């Protein structure tokens, strides 16, 4: 494959033009970009998504979804779209320019609107991700976070998003190409990762570089990855701790601000095209590359080698060669890592391996992580961010009908946890939050969602800072509870407790007289009467409160927290 390191097209205008555009953009309607859209825009502007010239129009979008190709036939597997709310879309006309701003209001680009349409999201989910299943994080995002309307059109770049972290490690495609030209690197193999590097990864990357007779680019993703992944600050510190294990003359590291979709086979092809734009000739494709885990039926979304098969089909057209990711295991008898499928005497040797789940367990319980598995410096960084579970913050989230006993049990739990001591405990009760955080909100679905998201935000901050948050709202909608779970699980454990008191019992109790008012039609959209309640399918704990003392209910939660290692028995 030819290695062309000439600069690739960027979408930025000159400095003088950008200053003029900034002034003119003050008159334009502005769209504040989401974190995912900022990642996409950065890679559009700097050429990482070459040949795209902006967010896809409808014809390109439909062709990409159905055929993995732009309307002109160019290979491109991932729809890059600007999703907006219906309200915003109504203010926009075709042919109009809008300003694209980051979350602080800084202008990054302007965009000329050529297309505006309402996509068929179930079809997009089915074709791009293989199933319209909300267990897939990108499908969940598509249905519950992304806007209802897509806008398409070319982008004019004014300035790149500002990153205050690891600035020396961030390179545009053209900066990496210039670096490779300067060093005379003719072959470069890229290693994509969203996890810390351990000894198996080091061995794998060494072998891949040797096999391709190439230099090595460690190219970790630091944009959006999978909910629950280790934050990129910790990961980059881990990568830096490992870098001195690599020969500096043949290895470099650069950070990629990509918002992953976890789309398996399509994602692998997409990653390959992005690395080609960054000047790489080879790309390591892993077993279950960019797989999101299990679907709703508990099975893997993609086969372990689907990504490799699809990449292999298109590698010649892409102009970047695949290096197979070998599953590396540690052979104790020979004190070295070897590809699992190449060990001929596997019945006569001791093979050791630690899965990601087992690693998380050892970290959470403060157990030893052997040196054959990881580097002491990496383990040290991970322990700083992931102390043993009994020292981490966590959130207990009660959900159930009005009058089910959530607040009463939550109060009892708070007192028991305070009695134990060790961590600050905060109760975010539905009524207290309504009074102090959400006094201006009504009871429409939109406002109730917003109220729960606020509770989730506060709970995630408490969890992040090592405290215990106890939440006791009704929280009737499963999608909103899931969003709160994702917010919290970035920083600690989330324990959903379904207070499963029947609607009949709640109505019989009716301490506040609300059911009576709802039956009389004086309260609209009342959960359980005139508005639905999504019963939690897999809560960590289900409490039956009818004829069970409050103290006993709270004690059940304490026992659950002990069994999860969150409090010491």
Q: Which of 71-75, 512-516, 540-544 has the lowest mean pLDDT?
A: 512-516
Query: Which residues are known to be catalytic?
Result: 193-195
pLDDT value, residue 569? 66
pLDDT, tens only, 438-483: 888 877 788 888 899 999 999 999 999 999 999 999 888 898 999 9
Helices 478-489, 445-464: crossing angle, 10 deg rounding: 20
The SS3 of residue 531 is strand
Kindly tell me if the per-residue pLDDT of 153 is higher than 80: yes
206 is in an annotated binding site: no
Percent of the chain with pLDDT over 70: 99
407 is in an annotated binding site: yes
405 is in an annotated binding site: yes
**What domains are there in the chain, each with its CATH number?**
15-157 (3.10.400.10), 167-329 (3.40.50.620), 389-564 (3.40.50.300)
286 is in an annotated binding site: no
pLDDT value, residue 277? 97
400 is in an annotated binding site: yes
**What mean pLDDT comes out for the span 58-70?**
98
Task: Calculate the alpha carbon distances from 274 to 45, 279, 387, 508, 544 in Å.
Answer: 13, 9, 35, 61, 52
Structure tokens at 372: 């054959």
Sheet containing 336-339: which strands, arranged edge to edge? 336-339, 328-331, 351-352
pLDDT, tens only, 211-258: 889 999 999 999 888 777 788 888 899 899 888 888 888 999 999 999
pLDDT, tens only, 43-55: 999 999 999 999 9
Q: What is the rounded average pLDDT for all residues in the chain?
A: 91
pLDDT value, residue 512? 76
pLDDT, tens only, 175-194: 999 999 999 999 999 999 88
* All residues at 6 or more sequence positions from 47 whose CB lies less than 8 Å from its CB, including other chains: 8, 9, 10, 11, 172, 173, 174, 277
Q: What is the 3-state secondary structure (H, E, C) of 306-328?
A: HHHHHHHHHHHHHCCEEEECCCE
Strand partners, 531: 527
Kindly tell me if the per-residue pLDDT of 437 is higher than 90: no
Most confident of 235-244, 302-311, 352-361: 302-311
Residue 311's nearest CA partner among 324, 302, 300 is 324
Structure tokens at 151: 């806008």
pLDDT value, residue 359? 85
Kindly tell me if the per-residue pLDDT of 2 is higher than 70: no
Q: With DSSP H G I counted as helix, E B as strand and the rest as coil, what are the percentages for the chain, rounded to 5?
A: 40, 15, 40
């Amino acid at each position: 494959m030819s290695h062309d390191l000439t600069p690739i097209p960027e979408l930025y205008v000159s400095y003088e033009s950008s200053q003029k555009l900034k002034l003119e953009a003050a008159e334009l309607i502005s769209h504040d970009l989401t974190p995912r859209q900022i990642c996409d825009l950065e890679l559009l502007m700097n050429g990482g998504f070459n040949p795209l010239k902006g967010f896809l129009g409808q014809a390109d979008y439909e062709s990409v979804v159905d055929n993995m190709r732009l309307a002109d036939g160019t290979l491109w597997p991932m729809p890059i779209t600007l999703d907006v709310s219906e309200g915003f879309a109504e203010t926009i006309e075709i042919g109009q320019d809008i300003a694209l701003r980051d979350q602080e209001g800084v202008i990054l680009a302007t965009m000329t609107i050529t297309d505006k349409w309402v996509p068929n999201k179930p079809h997009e989910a089915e074709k791009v991700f293989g199933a319209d299943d909300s267990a897939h994080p990108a499908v969940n995002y598509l249905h519950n976070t992304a806007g209802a309307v897509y806008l398409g059109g070319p982008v004019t770049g004014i300035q790149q998003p500002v990153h205050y972290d690891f600035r020396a490690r961030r390179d545009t495609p053209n900066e990496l190409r210039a670096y490779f030209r300067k060093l005379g690197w003719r072959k470069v193999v890229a290693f994509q990762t969203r996890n810390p590097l351990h000894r198996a990864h080091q061995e794998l990357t060494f072998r891949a570089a040797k096999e391709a007779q190439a230099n090595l680019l460690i190219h970790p993703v630091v944009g959006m990855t999978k909910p629950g992944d280790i934050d990129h600050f910790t990961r980059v510190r881990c990568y830096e701790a490992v870098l001195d294990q690599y020969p500096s003359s043949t290895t470099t590291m650069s950070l990629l601000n990509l918002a992953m979709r976890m789309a398996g086979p399509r994602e692998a092809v997409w990653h390959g095209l992005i690395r080609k734009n960054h000047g790489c000739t080879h790309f390591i494709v892993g077993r279950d590359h960019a797989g999101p885990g299990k679907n709703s039926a508990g099975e893997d979304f993609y086969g372990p080698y689907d990504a490799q098969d699809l990449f292999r089909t298109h590698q010649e057209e892409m102009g970047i060669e695949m290096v197979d990711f070998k599953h590396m295991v540690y052979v104790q008898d020979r004190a070295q890592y070897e590809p699992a499928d190449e060990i001929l005497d596997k019945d006569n040797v001791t093979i050791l391996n630690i899965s990601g789940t087992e690693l998380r367990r050892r970290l959470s319980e403060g157990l030893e992580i052997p040196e054959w598995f990881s580097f002491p410096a990496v383990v040290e960084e991970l322990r700083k961010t992931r102390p043993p579970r009994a020292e981490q913050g966590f959130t207990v989230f009660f959900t159930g009908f009005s009058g089910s006993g959530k607040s009463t049990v939550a109060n009892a739990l708070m007192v028991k946890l305070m009695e134990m001591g060790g961590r600050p405990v905060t109760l975010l009760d539905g009524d207290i939050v309504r009074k102090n955080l959400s006094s201006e909100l009504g009871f429409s679905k939109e406002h109730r969602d917003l109220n729960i998201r606020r509770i989730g935000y506060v709970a995630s901050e408490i969890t992040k800072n090592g405290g215990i948050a106890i939440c006791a709202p009704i929280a009737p909608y499963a999608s909103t509870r899931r969003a709160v779970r994702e917010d919290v699980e970035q920083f600690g454990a989330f324990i959903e407790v379904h207070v499963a008191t029947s609607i009949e019992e709640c109505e019989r109790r009716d301490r506040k007289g609300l059911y009576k008012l709802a039956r009389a039609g004086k309260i609209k959209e009342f959960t359980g009467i005139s508005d639905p309640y999504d019963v939690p399918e897999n809560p960590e704990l289900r409490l039956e409160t009818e004829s069970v003392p409050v103290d006993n209910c709270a004690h059940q939660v304490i026992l659950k927290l002990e069994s999860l290692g969150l409090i010491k028995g």
